[in-house]
Amino acid sequence: MANIRFTNDHEWIRVEGDTAVIGITDYAQQQLGDVVFVELPEVGRALERGKDAAVVESVKAASEVYAPIDGQVIEINTLLLDQPATVNSDPQGAGWFFKVKLGDTAQLEALLDETAYNNMIQELG
């Protein structure tokens, strides 16, 4: 999937036209364990690349979700508010966290492609 990129912090971003859909990777949800709560950003919030955007809590720990790019939140996945375990069952599908209006598309070039991300997680063991 050429339109998906990844961060070193285990977020994924899928570009759909001028919108980016963002969530956490399968590897991240496996490390967290059973997700019990997700705190999403407010629609309209301006996000800055590398800064806190959301929080995901599991039975093991709470973890920050960072914005992989700059952008304004245009939609959140309200399904996760009632069914946070969707992050475990479908992290890169129905378990997406939020959508942003793409700002600087050049920021996408700094992210990992699927091969580079898979190589990184293999090195993590």
Query: Domain for residue 125, yes or no?
Result: no
Query: Domain for residue 9, yes or no?
Result: yes
How many domains does the chain contain in total? 1
CATH number of the structural domain spanning residue 87: 2.40.50.100
pLDDT digits (tens, 9 = 90+) for 81-125: 999 999 999 999 999 999 999 878 899 999 999 999 999 999 987
Query: Domain for residue 37, yes or no?
Result: yes
Query: Domain for residue 86, yes or no?
Result: yes
Query: Domain for residue 16, yes or no?
Result: yes
pLDDT digits (tens, 9 = 90+) for 33-45: 999 999 999 999 9
Confirm whether pTM is higher than 0.85: yes
Cβ 56 vs Cβ 35: under 8 Å: yes
Query: Domain for residue 71, yes or no?
Result: yes
Query: Domain for residue 48, yes or no?
Result: yes
> Residue 41 sits in which domain range?
4-117
